[in-house]
Chains A and B, each alone.
Chain A
Amino acid sequence: GIQVEQSPPDLILQEGANSTLRCNFSDSVNNLQWFHQNPWGQLINLFYIPSGTKQNGRLSATTVATERYSLLYISSSQTTDSGVYFCAVEQSGTYKYIFGTGTRLKVLA
């Protein structure tokens, strides 16, 4: 099956710093979403981004489907950005979403 790897696995930032999270996938996909999982377990939609670039405030994402990767940029990080960031891909020809391995982010005040 499709493999979805995220890097880095863990990241510690000082408040105000910028970061880039990466998601690599091993096969063609229909869809890709980025999620933030808060400390209480809630998965919050950040982006629906099967291709191209989107921005939402301090966050932006780029997916290059032909090269099988997606990037999530966080600028001017805040302590509330802490948590785990997952990408999830929908494998072509299925309705199955496969989650990546996750990046655990901690932002220090």
Chain B
Amino acid sequence: DTEVTQTPKHLVMGMTNKKSLKCEQHMGHRAMYWYKQKAKKPPELMFVYSYEKLSINESVPSRFSPECPNSSLLNLHLHALQPEDSALYLCASSQEGPRQTQYFGPGTRLLVL
């Protein structure tokens, strides 16, 4: 099973709302990633978790708060977002370490009004 699932598929939120994106994998991977993709642009790395610990934060604003409660689950908590944060948010997982294949979920399309 090489599946990464993400919920919800679509999300519309106001600038004062708090919401969360969820990502799950059952491949035994110990590295998980959040990417942001704007329209007609490539995905950009936001966060990397390794063994449930945050290992890379690409200078992402604090209104995005990642959480890795266990080895299968990755959350992205959203608060006080701006309209320019509207994008496709992609989760990925891989075995830990360099030279590993990344597997992506289907993404959550977020619209901030």
Contacts and interface: CB of A to CB of B under 8 A. Distances in A.
Q: Looking at chain B's contact residues, is the secondary structure mostly helix, strand, loop, or mixed?
A: strand
B46 to A, nearest CB: 11
Nearest to A91: B98
Interface in B21-41: 31, 33, 37
A41 B99 contact: no
A22 to B, nearest CB: 15
A42 interface: yes
Given A97-B45, A99-B42, A33 B102 contact: yes
Contacts of A88: 102
Interface stretch (B69-77, B78-86, B103-111): B103-111
A35 to B, nearest CB: 8
A43 interface: yes
Interface band, chain B: 20 to 34
Nearest to B44: A99
Given A45-B104, A48-B101, 18 more contacts: A31-B98, A31-B99, A40-B106, A41-B106, A41-B109, A43-B90, A44-B104, A88-B102, A90-B99, A95-B31, A95-B48, A95-B98, A96-B48, A96-B58, A97-B45, A98-B45, A99-B42, A99-B44
29 contacts: A30-B98, A30-B99, A31-B98, A35-B104, A41-B37, A41-B88, A41-B106, A41-B109, A42-B104, A42-B107, A43-B92, A44-B104, A45-B103, A48-B101, A50-B99, A90-B98, A95-B31, A95-B50, A95-B56, A95-B97, A96-B45, A96-B56, A97-B102, A98-B45, A99-B42, A99-B43, A99-B44, A101-B42, A102-B42
Interface of A: 30-31, 33, 35, 40-45, 48, 50, 86, 88, 90, 94-102
